[in-house]
Amino acid sequence: MFEFEQALWNDGFCKIAGADEVGRGCLFGDVVAGAVILPPGLIIEGVNDSKKLSEKKREQLYGQIARESVSWSVARVDAATIDRINIRQASRLAMKLALDSLSIAPDYVLVDAETVDLSLPQQSIIKGDARSQSIAAASIMAKVTRDRLCVTEWDEIYPEYGIAVHKGYATKLHRERLLEHGPSELHRRSFLKKLLGECG
């Protein structure tokens, strides 16, 4: 998990930010991105791709990353913007916003399988959330943030869809509720036209 960071530390970079997004494949809600700068040499046991971790482990690591990072941030891009500019561009925008929101400017950026519109040296890493601790940490911060939004905010506004259960993904339950109730204001209309033409 340190191959990329170690090479950059050896080259003199000391403020390496990892960036990743979550919610790219959801039918509902914002895409959320995280950005994290970890101190050189810090090892946080258990950090991995957020999708491979239990909810309890993600919550534990979220707190540890928040305490021990040099800087971290999250940013959101809403469903209306996703529909307007497409999910790839919205994901890239969310990561840019997260990186821009760091309290300390990074001197290098590691990004999971994408590039970000910033005038900073950066590297796109395929499956970066499983290969770079910085990117994995960013994915955890983004995932926990988005899951909390699903449970404490969005599910309370739209209880009929079961958002707290499926987190906005295209599960059988979510599809059934969409057919029953139609889409809400926070559903991604561009996604529904492909998956549920009846609701588009």
The CA distance from 192 to 180, in Å, is 14
Q: Is the pLDDT of residue 200 over 50?
A: no
Lookup: tokens for 182: 């139609």
The string of pLDDT tens digits covering residues 38-61 is 999 999 999 998 989 999 999 999
Residue ranges of domains in the chain, CATH in brackets: 3-145 (3.30.420.10)
Q: Are the C-beta atoms of 50 and 18 separated by less than 8 Å?
A: no
- At 2 the pLDDT is 87
* Whether the Cβ atoms of residue 26 and residue 168 lie closer than 8 Å to each other: yes
Question: Whole-prediction pTM value?
Answer: 0.95
The tokens of 84 are what?
Answer: 């307007």
* Weakest mean pLDDT among 1-5, 18-22, 100-104, 164-168: 1-5
Q: Average the pLDDT over 182-197 and give the result.
A: 86
* Low-confidence winner among 52-61, 69-78, 173-182, 188-197 (lowest mean pLDDT): 188-197
Q: What is the pLDDT of residues 163-186, one digit of tens each?
A: 999 999 999 999 999 999 999 999
Contact (CB, 8 A) for 130 and 47: no
pLDDT of residue 194: 67
SS3 26: coil
Residue type, 190: S
